[in-house]
Amino acid sequence: MYLAADIGGTKSLVGVFAQDVERPKPIVTREYVTLDFESLEEIIDLFIDETGAADVSAIALGVAGPVSGLTARMTNVPWLANASGLGERFDDCPVALLNDLEAMAYAVPVLYPDELAVLQEGIPVPSGNAALIAAGTGLGEALLHNVNGVFIPSPSEGCHADFAARTPRELAFVAHMSRVYGRVDVERVVSGLGLTNLFRFTHGTDDISRACRVASTGDEADLPARLTASAMAHRCEQCVEAFDMFIEAYGAESGNLALRSVATAGLYIGGGIAPKILPALETGAFLDAFLDKEPLGDLLRTIPISVILNSAAGLLGAAVRAAGGNAAMRQ
């Protein structure tokens, strides 16, 4: 039995898995609100109390932030994730703490066809690398290096690299954001936080209560979802513009990642946002921005692009890692 967790900026998934033929099989899982807790240990303790999980032979935890050993400073959560004491609670079993996108990358080779929505068929190269990008509360990226037919996941903090504006409107947005933050990284554009930033920009106010009626009800934490619903229903021109800028920026950064990793085996889009806006991703704006990388547009046209529909892919990937990782990563 394996204990796995996917600790995100908004929600955390924890589960116990058993080994199965194709991939680890979930026995029991729970979902928690991350900010209801003050530490990683509290989340795991509650899961153990609720489920009675005890017979665990390996543990793997994915957390949203850069990892050093068995600790991680989470990017959008105000506490340090520390897994150093977990092994002792389960008879000194091995423990792995991973970046959340590195953990999700372990799930990519074992996803079923119906857990993927294809945006571009491409021409996959079996010996090539793959890459993963996922927008949710924040943004994450990971590489899957192909080493002798085995995908080796590698974490990345490329989401905190500088955002590259491509249009006059994006340049104006960056100028505005620079006055607010001093520096604009990709996550401030391509994420739930980014949707809120784009909303403020296109409505011309930092006070969302003075913006359109979309902002007049609900908490600010729910604003990205309300903006998206408004834009997809064409209820507000400023919401539509913000959403369109988000889609194009998501496509452009996905193309950047595909080039950086030479992801000829595939580019995968995870996270909580993509499945909810799949019709918008399929309209062409995302793919146009992805391909707009001359002189390498032809290369990008060969790269398969798929949206991950399995909302627990990060948890599954952590379980794959706990079960032995690379043994399940063969193509």
The string of DSSP letters for 223-244 reads: HHHHHHHHHHTT--HHHHHHHH
Whether residue 88 sits in one domain with residue 36:
yes
CA 68 to chain CA mean position, Å: 20
Strand partners, 266: 130
In the numeric block, the tokens 């017979």 are attached to 55
Helix (H, G, I), strand (E, B) or coil at 108: helix
CA distances from 95 to 12, 61, 167 (A): 18, 8, 46
Q: Is residue 212 part of a domain?
A: yes
pTM flag (> 0.85)? yes
Give the pLDDT confidence score for residue 10 in this predicted structure: 87
DSSP code at position 141: E
Give the pLDDT confidence score for residue 331 in this predicted structure: 37
Whether residue 134 sits in one domain with residue 252:
yes
Whether residue 53 sits in one domain with residue 141:
no
Whether residue 253 sits in one domain with residue 140:
yes
Encode the chain (331 residues) as per-residue pLDDT tens digits.
Answer: 899 999 998 899 999 999 888 899 999 999 999 999 999 999 999 999 999 887 888 999 999 989 999 999 888 888 889 998 887 778 778 999 999 999 999 999 999 999 999 999 999 999 999 999 999 999 999 999 999 999 999 999 999 999 999 999 999 999 999 998 999 999 999 999 999 999 999 999 888 777 887 766 777 788 999 999 999 999 999 999 999 999 999 999 999 999 999 999 999 999 999 999 999 999 999 999 999 999 999 999 999 999 999 999 999 999 999 998 544 333 3
Tell me, what CATH number does 52's domain have?
3.30.420.40
The Cα–Cα gap between 250 and 244 comes to: 10
Q: In whole angstroms, how large is the CA radius of gyration of the chain?
A: 20
Whether residue 160 sits in one domain with residue 272:
yes
- φ, ψ of residue 178 to 5 degrees: the values are -65, -35
Whether residue 242 sits in one domain with residue 277:
yes
Write out the H or E segment, with its range, that includes residue 89.
helix 86-89
Contacts 24+ apart (CB under 8 A), 206-214: 206/180, 211/238, 212/236, 212/238, 212/239, 214/239
Task: Enter the tokens of residue 275.
Answer: 């499945």
CA angle 26/277/210 to nearest 5° reads 120
Give the pLDDT confidence score for residue 325 in this predicted structure: 59
The Cα–Cα gap between 209 and 205 comes to: 9
Whether residue 117 sits in one domain with residue 86:
no
Residue 12's domain spans which residues?
A: 2-98
Structural domain count of the chain:
2
Whether residue 303 sits in one domain with residue 205:
yes
The Cα–Cα gap between 149 and 228 comes to: 40
Whether residue 78 sits in one domain with residue 140:
no
Contact, 298 vs 292, CB < 8 A?
Answer: no
Contact, 265 vs 144, CB < 8 A?
Answer: yes
Give the pLDDT confidence score for residue 330 in this predicted structure: 35
Peptide bond into 94 cis (omega under 30): no
Contact, 254 vs 301, CB < 8 A?
Answer: no
Sheet holding 2-7: strands in order across?
25-33, 11-18, 2-7, 58-63, 95-99
Contact, 253 vs 186, CB < 8 A?
Answer: yes
Whether residue 32 sits in one domain with residue 147:
no
Task: Enter the tokens of residue 27.
Answer: 């026995």
Give the pLDDT confidence score for residue 327 in this predicted structure: 41
Strand partners, 63: 7, 99
DSSP code at position 163: P
Tell me, what CATH number does 150's domain have?
3.40.367.20
- φ, ψ of residue 13 to 5 degrees: the values are -110, 135
CA angle 64/66/69 to nearest 5° reads 115
